[in-house]
Chain A
Amino acid sequence: MTGQELLASLSKLFGAKLQNKTEFRGETTYTILPSDLREVAKFCRDELSFDYLIDITSIDNFGEEPRFEIVYELYSMTLTVHLRLKLRVSEEEGAVDTVSDIWPTANWHEREIYDMMGIKFNDHPDLRRILMWDGYPFFPLRKEFPLEGLPSEMPDVAFTKAAPLEGGPFVTQPSTATAKDREPRAHPPEL
């Protein structure tokens, strides 16, 4: 079975559930409903030989509804075919079914999405933060979260402060001032 036949069999079986198909430079992307995720994922792994989940990532389309988008990058080792699955999650819903029992690698990917974007995964075996510490009150990759961060405090665990940005992540305006004066961190507001 070639890659094209394989994708054809996918669309035959899940015709109604695959909402939108796009092709770009030989990469196929399907949009699915969150409720169909586990069914489609199982079929992809067992019947279509997508044995490798390269990555799961999430996108914050702030201002749109549904707000979040989750992207699954699948790869078939035997047929060397890529497949991308996308689904949209609203902020109120805020949760998707886990695929960590289908592809074990999803465990940490889903933890990262939970950590950075705050999307929960139903039936995940160990849904803790993976980069920030447990108890950190924000989800840093959400659009409304400022780049410089927000102050927080967890005694004996960690604290955060807002970083000085001076109007941009990197201030590179030409000036005759010395680096000591131009550098916003050389004169922090208060320690």
Chain B
Amino acid sequence: MPEILPAAYDSKIEGNVIFTRFDAALNWVRKNSLWPMPMGLACCAIELMATAASRFDIARFGAEVMRFSPRQCDVMIVAGTVTYKMALAVKRIYEQMPEPKWVIAMGACASTGGMYRSYAVLQGIDQLLPVDVYISGCPPRPEALLAGLMKLQEKISGERSFRKQKPELFEKLEDALS
């Protein structure tokens, strides 16, 4: 009768099996294929386009698939001045994005209103949306946007995604295990 070895020590399948936490695997998948919603509202959008183009190449971080339908997006990059006239439209687009979703406030205007302390400009998109990463600059260089994207990836890899997404299932599992 052959001895049954644990999977990790089976020389035939070793190297093809990885043990990890479910959250870690899920986060790894998510953070490396962030599909951005390019919410280009002003000059920051030019830098956003430069980031996506060949010289800086946001594809190196798996975020090259700019989708113009919010239903296919994971991260909204608010790039530019959010006027009050546009503000609720931005919010509506954010609400149309499926969970899980993140927001990057790119540049001074999206973060705080920037130099526009005026009657027409929303003083920071964080008054309407939960912002994950703020990027300084007016406009930020593509490197800064990539650094912000990497920060977001770091944040995603620390998330407890499974518990957040399926709280009931998680509790059931915990009860069953205890």
Interface residues in chain A, defined as those with a beta carbon under 8 Å from any beta carbon in chain B: 131-133, 138, 140, 145-150, 156-161, 163-165, 169-170, 183, 185-186, 188, 191
Contacts and interface: CB of A to CB of B under 8 A. Distances in A.
Contacts of A133: 85
A163 B85 contact: no
Contacts of B121: 163
B84 A147 contact: no
A109 to B, nearest CB: 19
Nearest to B87: A158
Nearest to A141: B119
Interface string B113-142: 101011111011001000000000000000
B112 A163 contact: no
A88 to B, nearest CB: 26
Contact of B119 (A149, A157, A164, A191): A149
A145 B117 contact: no
Contact of A191 (B84, B88, B127): B127
Given A159-B87, A170-B117, 13 more contacts: A138-B119, A148-B117, A148-B119, A149-B118, A149-B120, A158-B85, A158-B87, A159-B84, A159-B88, A163-B113, A164-B123, A170-B115, A188-B123
Contact of A140 (B115, B117, B119): B119
Given A161-B123, A163-B123, A164-B123, A148 B84 contact: no
Closest A-B pairs by Cβ, 7 of them: A149-B119, A163-B117, A185-B112, A160-B84, A158-B84, A140-B119, A185-B123
Interface residues of B, number: 15
Interface of B: 84-85, 87-88, 112-113, 115, 117-121, 123-124, 127
Contacts of B87: 158-159
Contacts of A158: 84-85, 87-88
Contacts of B115: 170
A180 B66 CA distance: 33
A145 B118 CA distance: 11
B121 to A, nearest CB: 7
